[in-house]
A and B are shown apart, each in its own frame.
Chain A
Amino acid sequence: MATQAISNPAAVHHDHAHDHGHEHHHETFLNKYVFSQDHKMIAKQFLITGIIMAVIGMVFSILFRIQLAWPDKEFPFLEVILGKWGAGGRLDPNFYLSLVTIHGTIMVFFVLTAGLSGTFSNLLIPYQIGARDMASPFMNMLSYWFFFAASVVMCSSFFIQTGPASGGWTIYPPLSALPKAMPGSGLGMTLWLASMALFIASSLMGGINYISTVLNMRTKGMSMTKMPLTIWAFFFTAILGVLAFPVLFSAVILLIFDRSFGTSFYLSDIFIGGEALPNTGGSPILFQHLFWFLGHPEVYIIIMPALGITSEIIATNSRKPIFGYRAMIISLLGITFLSFIVWGHHMFVTGMNPFLGSVFMFTTLIIAVPSAVKTFNYLATLWRGNIRFTPAMMFAVGLVSFFITGGVTGLFLGNASLDINLHDTYFVVAHFHIVMGCAAIFGMLAGVYHWYPKLFGKMMNDKLGYLHFWMTFISAYLVFFPMHFMGLDGVPRRYYEFTEFEQFKQWLPLNQFITIAAIIGALGQLLFLYNFFVNIFRGKKAPQNPWNSNTLEWTTPVEHIHGNWPGEIPTVYRWSYDYSKPGAVQDFIPQNVPFSETISSNTPEDFGYHGDETQFVHEFYQAKHLTVSDEQKAEKAN
């Protein structure tokens, strides 16, 4: 059928690179830094935009933490920076709700979805599979600029009379559907919806690009099962995004009609100021179903790239092959599939049929299996590894820690009978901040520290990195761990001043403790910002392969060139985890080293032989008969 289809993407992209090489001579500021179609530049654009959004989201969280810790104190600086929303030095209650809403939206979508996937999928997919660029560089550029526009629209809602959306990041109707419901439901909500529509378009263009690139443009020898786990993670993440976001889009379309054209999709039997609205027959629960059909895959869109990055960093810095490579792929696949059939666990208290609830509970708890497989594989990879504690490695191990802590509380919340008690309490806040907030941001930071030399050709400062890690790690636990106990006591989330209730007054000192820990953690991020931005200009020049890593991106020159490799794209002969292979000259063998050059370390398995090792004869295989003294040495070393 597809007779004229192009069967050799490498050749096509050769031409491509050539075309661009031609433009190279009159490269302007505009097409190099702004409307760039180069995946490396787009990755940097995503990363820096993501960092800016992260700082904004973090500042918001500090503002509302101050309110929670000192609900009746006046802070004149609030009036200085916030104007009427901080009148008299007190945070306006409606603005408090806006802050939590936009904090959630920015962190979930703009930082941990676009900032994380956008940066590392763009950077690593072409590099690690051996491609000159993305399948469609033009759509890739559009993807960034839609994301940028979405960010601008989202932030612009802070500059309007009625303030930004304030119905929570889940924008449940009727709060989001009735412009009169609260100040933030007016223009702020409209801007939120417009921003998300742009965001979904950006995510879709990015996602289909990532999938097509991974499927179509792998270099010679890079079969699917030779791909690094990062690529597998980005691949499944892109699939999740392409299938889940359109459902949010549908939900948003219907919501826009409810808001602006008077339909009753989500509205029924509502009174405002004692007066009945004309809407009948709609169902707000249906919005929740549509929202969480995206919302749950979304949390895996957030965590899976972080898990992929962690796999790569832990294997590299343990100087060991990743434990259970195929199990890792299968568990990613399992998570991808299961994440589509668990959304009901966000809705146990909506009056759902208990039988249906138990089905959702069952599928939810099954996700613990692939998650645990991944965790144990990380631990087994670390086990007896020759560990190098680079800052990236610290953050990767930090991710494993948070993933375990938050995963365990996930078992509590996935359980319908427990969730009915814990729903909408601080227990939930603690759970998702640890498992998808902290774990994912640690994965992202690990990625930044690890691939900074590739992104900017410079090295970051290790000492600042360690300090940044410990400040972040400790303060994150100090902030979120105590929240579990508040949640068990029934403290509801999203309240402006819950310590005014008699039964929750006792939590005020803890609230102050959490806020102080949060401020310290936020100050720790200044170290990162300094380390990140200053070293772009002043950093030590990076060597080509600073971490002695096996993957293909480290075979490219330090100075970025269009098309990534100056000559031919390297051919791949082996998987990316040949670390500390017995008999090898170095403790790593890059993917592009052929077996004929590593005769001393070749194993029978490399030739597809899985039987008795002593029986195997091959001209490129040197039998490794250990002498008695060698064995003793090995015993001692272990």
Chain B
Amino acid sequence: MSTVAQIDEVKSNPWGGGRSPFSVEYGKLMMWFFLLSDVFTFSALLIFYGAMRFKNLSWPEPDYVFQSAPGIHGNAPLVFVGIMTFILIFSSVTMVLAVEAGHRKSKAEVIKWMVLTIIGGFTFLSCQAWEWSHLIHEGMNLHHNPFLNANGTPGAVQFGQLFFVITGFHGFHVFTGVIINIIILVNVIAGTYERRGHYNMVEKVGLYWHFVDLVWVFVFTFFYLV
């Protein structure tokens, strides 16, 4: 029957069936598609922001709106948000290290880097809370924008509204990310993944965490830089 087997032999190429074409288990694939979907959510919000920005002839100056930082007297445009961005990106670095430690199945190191990532996430959220409360204190809220447009006309209310909605939506993503990270950390400590033989779950939440970071880069660009 060897000749029969020869003619009926099924070619084994990555897309030929019987295996994952990307050698990726389904959970990670699903995470990728979820992130792709979330890209569209954020894109829609940021494009809406862009449309509002260009619908108005003038728009508040970010250097002027975001010039405060705790502990600094006088003007420090974008210093605080720079620190926030640095913290978030740094937490991505620690997440990379956690994933890498997971590959080596080094439980202690995974725990260490996950804890640092979670701390980074919470620090970012605290910074955001400070910035929000500062801006609200200065009179910016969903109904009112005290900051004048660059050309001296009354500030577009949509600036503040979109700021709170979009950074809030991003902050919500960071918050869920932190919560998920904590759940994963608990599982790591409990040895769930050690028994399972791989730390794929750490990799999956890592994908989410990097995505949240990447989104922040765009939110940062839209609100603070241009």
Contacts and interface: CB of A to CB of B under 8 A. Distances in A.
**A interacts with B:** yes
Interface of A: 2-10, 12, 129-130, 135-136, 139, 204, 207-209, 211-213, 215-224, 226, 242-247, 249-251, 253-254, 257, 261-265, 278, 280-283, 286, 289-290, 293, 571-573, 594-596, 619-620
Given A265-B161, A278-B143, A280-B157, A220 B23 contact: no
Contacts of A218: 17-18
Contacts of B38: 246
Interface string B17-57: 11111111111111001101110111111001001100110
Nearest to A569: B18
Nearest to B45: A250
B52 to A, nearest CB: 8
Contact of A246 (B10, B26, B28, B44): B44
B29 A216 contact: yes
A221 B10 contact: yes
Contact of A4 (B26, B158, B200): B200
B4 A596 contact: yes
B19 A257 contact: no
27 contacts: A2-B203, A5-B24, A9-B26, A136-B27, A136-B30, A204-B37, A215-B22, A216-B24, A216-B26, A221-B10, A223-B16, A243-B36, A246-B38, A246-B41, A249-B41, A250-B48, A251-B44, A254-B48, A261-B142, A263-B142, A265-B158, A265-B161, A286-B51, A289-B51, A595-B7, A596-B4, A620-B7
Given A247-B44, A596-B7, A212 B30 contact: yes
Contact of A5 (B7, B13, B20, B40): B20
Nearest to B51: A286
Contacts of B33: 207-208, 211-212, 242
Contact of B20 (A216, A224, A290, A595): A216
Contacts of B11: 223
B156 interface: yes
Interface string B52-68: 10011000000000000
A451 to B, nearest CB: 22
Contacts of B20: 5-7, 9, 215-216
Contacts of A222: 17-18
A5 B8 CA distance: 28
B86 interface: no
A223 B37 contact: no
A257 B161 contact: yes
The 4 closest A-B pairs by CB, nearest first: A220-B18, A250-B44, A222-B17, A135-B26
Contacts, number: 173
A208 B41 CA distance: 15
Interface string B94-136: 0000000001000000000000000000000000000000000
A594 B1 CA distance: 13
Contacts of A245: 37
A224 B142 contact: no
Contacts of A223: 11, 13, 15-17
A154 B46 CA distance: 30
B61 to A, nearest CB: 18
Given A135-B30, A220-B10, A596-B4, 20 more contacts: A8-B19, A135-B26, A204-B37, A207-B33, A207-B37, A208-B33, A212-B26, A215-B29, A216-B20, A216-B26, A224-B15, A247-B44, A250-B42, A262-B142, A263-B143, A263-B161, A282-B158, A293-B44, A572-B10, A620-B7
A596 B11 CA distance: 15
Given A264-B161, A281-B56, A595 B19 contact: no
Interface of B: 3-4, 7-8, 10-11, 13, 15-30, 33-34, 36-38, 40-45, 48, 51-52, 55-56, 103, 142-143, 156-158, 161-162, 165, 169, 197-198, 200, 203
A254 B49 CA distance: 11
Contacts of B43: 247
Chain B CB count within 10 A is highest, among A2, A139, A222, A243, for A2
Most B Cβ at <10 Å: residue of A213, A247, A251, A619: A247
Contact of B19 (A7, A251, A280, A290): A7
Nearest to B197: A4
Nearest to A266: B48
A253 B142 contact: no
A165 to B, nearest CB: 22
A346 B143 CA distance: 32
B157 A264 contact: yes
Contact of B158 (A8, A130, A281, A571): A281
Nearest to A596: B4
A289 B55 CA distance: 14
Given A215-B21, A286-B51, A595-B7, A257 B29 contact: no
Contacts of A215: 20-22, 29
A257 B45 CA distance: 13
A264 B28 contact: no
A3 B102 CA distance: 12
A596 B162 CA distance: 66
A404 B200 CA distance: 49
Contacts of B34: 204, 208
Contacts of A596: 4, 7-8
Nearest to B38: A246
A215 B17 CA distance: 9
A572 B17 contact: yes
Contacts of B28: 2, 5
B143 to A, nearest CB: 5
A558 B108 CA distance: 51
Contacts of A254: 45, 48, 165
A21 to B, nearest CB: 20
A283 B55 contact: yes
A186 B37 CA distance: 30
B41 A573 contact: no
Contact of A213 (B3, B26, B55, B198): B26
Contacts of A278: 143
B169 A253 contact: yes
Contacts of B56: 281
A635 to B, nearest CB: 34
Contacts of A249: 41
A337 to B, nearest CB: 15
B60 to A, nearest CB: 13
A322 to B, nearest CB: 20
A208 B37 contact: yes
Contacts of A217: 26
B136 to A, nearest CB: 14
A635 B45 CA distance: 65
Contacts of A7: 19-20, 23
B7 A220 contact: no
A2 B37 contact: no
Contact of B103 (A3, A9, A264, A595): A3
Contacts of B16: 220-221, 223
A475 to B, nearest CB: 39
A207 B203 CA distance: 22
Contacts of B15: 223-224
A283 B26 CA distance: 41
Contacts of A293: 44
Nearest to B35: A208
B200 A5 contact: yes
Contact of A219 (B18, B25, B41, B197): B18
B156 A281 contact: yes
Contacts of A209: 30
Contacts of B4: 594, 596
